[in-house]
Amino acid sequence: MPYTSEVKSFEYYDLVSMPANANGVFDPGTQRVDFIYRRKNAGNVIARYINSAGFPIESEEFFDGTRKLGLPYETSEKYIPGYHLDLVSGSPSGIFGENPVEITYIYVKDPSVVITPGTENVKLATPSSIVDPRDWNIDFTIRPRATSSIATRSNSSKGGSGGDSTVRPAKATVVNNNDVKSQIDKPELNNPEIPLIIIDKPKADVLNNTKSTRKALSVPKTSDSRNTFGYFILLIVSCGLIVLLRRKEK
């Protein structure tokens, strides 16, 4: 007797091999008819980890969809130092479909960690102390310890004496040349933070030499002195006119 086998369709599968004995005749032995199916390809699943500015902060997870149509997938958030999860866009878990799937984990930066050089304690700063709250790629902020030199340099940049100024001395000591030796013996004057200002008195021969080489500066002429000659001529002419008038009167 003849027989006929029927091809069936299955969701998520494609028929890839048709048996040669799909149709035939029954015989006394056992006959096996095999239809070979293969699961269809699905779209890939990608999990991205970004900050609120859209920049990646961790490597993405890629799930290949080859021969996985209809199979489940699952993604998860990651622990990223300095950040905490704020929002998930997409389905963290689901089933591989025909189209690619993207899941985006959006993280927000934690308050910056302030590291002060020379100290062992690490303190958490408030959000207002972050250098640029919009820059989410800065993991920590390093701030120098507040010293008088830093304060002076900051003041000078805002209109002070100049950008190269250093620590302002707390005390200045003025001594004569004859008292230098006695002052050096005092340990309190050896403190490098207290500058020592020494005033040297000029010697007598230097003063005399300076006086002998000095020259008096000429006084600039005024406008009246430049017109002296004109006034003198005018005076002579006036006197001459007076003499002539007196002669005519006689």
Length of the chain: 250
**How does the average pLDDT of the chain come out, rounded?**
73
Asked whether residue 246 carries a pLDDT value surpassing 60, the answer given is yes
Structure token pair of residue 69: 């149509």
pLDDT value at residue 210? 58
**pLDDT tens by residue, 33-54:** 999 999 999 999 999 999 999 9
**pLDDT tens by residue, 109-165:** 998 655 455 555 555 555 544 455 545 555 444 455 555 544 444 444 444 444 444
Residue whose structure tokens are 């919009």: 134
pLDDT value at residue 174? 46
pLDDT value at residue 245? 84
Which pLDDT band holds residue 242 (cuts at 50, 70, 90)?
Answer: confident
CA distance 103 to 96: 13
Evaluate if pTM is beyond 0.85: no
pLDDT value at residue 181? 52
Cβ neighbors of 18 (< 8 A, separation 6 or more) are: 7, 35
Cross-strand pairs, 50: 56, 106
